[in-house]
Amino acid sequence: MKITAQNIVKAINALPKTEWFEYINPNTRTQVQVGKVNLPEGPIGVLRRNPKTGEVKELSISTEMIWRVANAITPKTPINIDRVLGASYNSRSALEALLALTGEFYWCLPGRIEVVGGREEIQRGHKHLIWMPDTPHPIGVMSQHVMSNELAISEIPAQAIVYDSLIIEPDRQTIDLDIQRRHILIQVLLAEIGHFLGFRTWIARNDRGHIYHGKPIAEIAGVVSELRDEKVLQAYGDAVGAALLIDCIWFKNGRLMPAVIEVEHSTGVTSGLTRMKKFQDLAPALEGIRWVIAAPDEDREEVFRKSSSIQFQSLNTKFFPYSAIEELYSLCLRRGLSSNSINEGFLDCYMEQVPSLTGR
């Protein structure tokens, strides 16, 4: 059985709209209420209230956020919402609470397997949700599913990515070789994802000679040989020169660019934003482009702060956390995703929109 964003939105829409609900964590001081629900796939508006002060704030649960959770759910398997979303959404706890109220979701505390000194130990579990569509409970009520003593989950993600060998020529300006390696491996995953989705991928000129899986990155399936040969850029000679060092560019059907992506693991967010902004300024007529910063999950706040600066607001930047890139790559492998099975908008499930300064 599979659950979709439509299923989730429909179920939340069935909750009482005038009732304030508690969160799963009893220590949470605020309450949540369902606001405007946009069928069939969201977004979902919610209200959060501090019952002591009466202060009410509005939140939005995006369509992309709902789809990302839906893609991670399987029946009778505990799911940690914080881990799925990489702690990158302010409204994640509200979504978790509303799901637990819908009837088919229970909250649970599965044991947690940890490896200590080479031995496996089961520790007290963290809060999870579990989808049990065959045994629903009344809607509007949170119910705990008591886990058996034998059931525990590993702290190691089930969708862990195993990379093939990578041989790199160290950049003399790069202090940390491990950081350079991580940067290049993310570029490789982006190229692989692009190939699954029917895109052709440009990899930055200075990264194309590194050896991955026994051959140069430039020879990976779907990687563009010469940037100047892409039809969509042939009217923008100066833009081509500005794009040569951009980490990843996706091309589609010879006339579209689904995304321009800078992987910011070592050089700082500003340098990547500056390269993308220069490219945008030199090719102003190009439309429908996602301007994306890919970075470690823990760098989200820095990405948001710098991307929302006035000089970069025309980029309307999206944040693509490393965990989401690895999750999407794993999904492509496991499910055999292709341009025939999903549309391009599916990518937005894994990217978070950076709000503008005026939108904060």
Which tens digit of pLDDT belongs to each residue from 296-315? Answer: 877 888 898 899 999 999 99
pLDDT band at 343 (very low <50, low <70, confident <90, very high): confident
Rounded Cα distance between 226 and 247, Å, is 14
Lowest-confidence pick of 28-32, 112-116, 145-149, 335-339: 112-116
User: What number of CA atoms fall less than 13 Å from residue 46's CA on the CB side?
Assistant: 30
What one-character DSSP code corresponds to residue 351?
Answer: -
pLDDT band at 115 (very low <50, low <70, confident <90, very high): very low
Task: Pick the more confident residue, 122 or 36.
Answer: 36
The answer on pLDDT for 266 being more than 60 is no
Asked if residue 294 lies in contact with residue 270, where contact means CB atoms within 8 angstroms, the answer is no
Rounded Cα distance between 191 and 204, Å, is 11
How many secondary structure helices (H) and strands (E) does the chain include?
Answer: 9, 18
The answer on pLDDT for 267 being more than 70 is no
Asked if residue 345 lies in contact with residue 197, where contact means CB atoms within 8 angstroms, the answer is no
**Identity of the amino acid at 123:** Q
Rounded Cα distance between 236 and 240, Å, is 6
Distance of CA 86 to the CA centre of its chain: 8
What one-character DSSP code corresponds to residue 124?
Answer: P
Rounded Cα distance between 347 and 144, Å, is 34
pLDDT band at 124 (very low <50, low <70, confident <90, very high): low
Closest CA to 205 of 249, 164, 172: 249
Mean per-residue pLDDT for 342-350?
80
What one-character DSSP code corresponds to residue 60?
Answer: E
Share of the chain above pLDDT 70, in %: 84
Rounded Cα distance between 247 and 264, Å, is 9
pLDDT band at 155 (very low <50, low <70, confident <90, very high): very low
Q: What is the pLDDT of residue 172?
A: 45
DSSP-derived 3-state class of residue 64: helix
Tokens of 295: 């970075």
* pTM (predicted TM-score): 0.64
Asked if residue 217 lies in contact with residue 208, where contact means CB atoms within 8 angstroms, the answer is yes
pLDDT band at 88 (very low <50, low <70, confident <90, very high): low
Tokens of 255: 């006339």
pLDDT band at 177 (very low <50, low <70, confident <90, very high): low
pLDDT band at 162 (very low <50, low <70, confident <90, very high): low
Q: What is the pLDDT of residue 277?
A: 96
The answer on pLDDT for 183 being more than 50 is yes
Share of the chain above pLDDT 90, in %: 50
User: What number of CA atoms fall less than 13 Å from residue 79's CA on the CB side?
Assistant: 26
Lowest-confidence pick of 48-52, 116-120, 154-158, 304-308: 154-158
Lowest-confidence pick of 120-129, 188-197, 301-310, 313-322: 120-129
Contacts of 299 (CB under 8 A, 6+ apart): 264, 269
Contacts of 248 (CB under 8 A, 6+ apart): 187, 190, 191, 194, 201, 202, 203, 204, 259, 260, 261, 262, 263, 294
Asked if residue 122 lies in contact with residue 152, where contact means CB atoms within 8 angstroms, the answer is yes
Show the domains of the chain with their CATH numbers: 5-154 (no CATH), 166-359 (3.40.91)
Q: What is the mean pLDDT of the chain?
A: 84
Closest CA to 12 of 85, 102, 93: 102
Strand order from edge to edge, sheet including 119-123: 119-123, 111-116, 152-154
Residues in the chain: 360
Q: What is the pLDDT of residue 161?
A: 56
**Identity of the amino acid at 284:** P
Mean per-residue pLDDT for 318-329?
87
pLDDT band at 100 (very low <50, low <70, confident <90, very high): very high
pLDDT tens for each residue of 50-78: 999 999 999 999 888 898 899 889 898 88
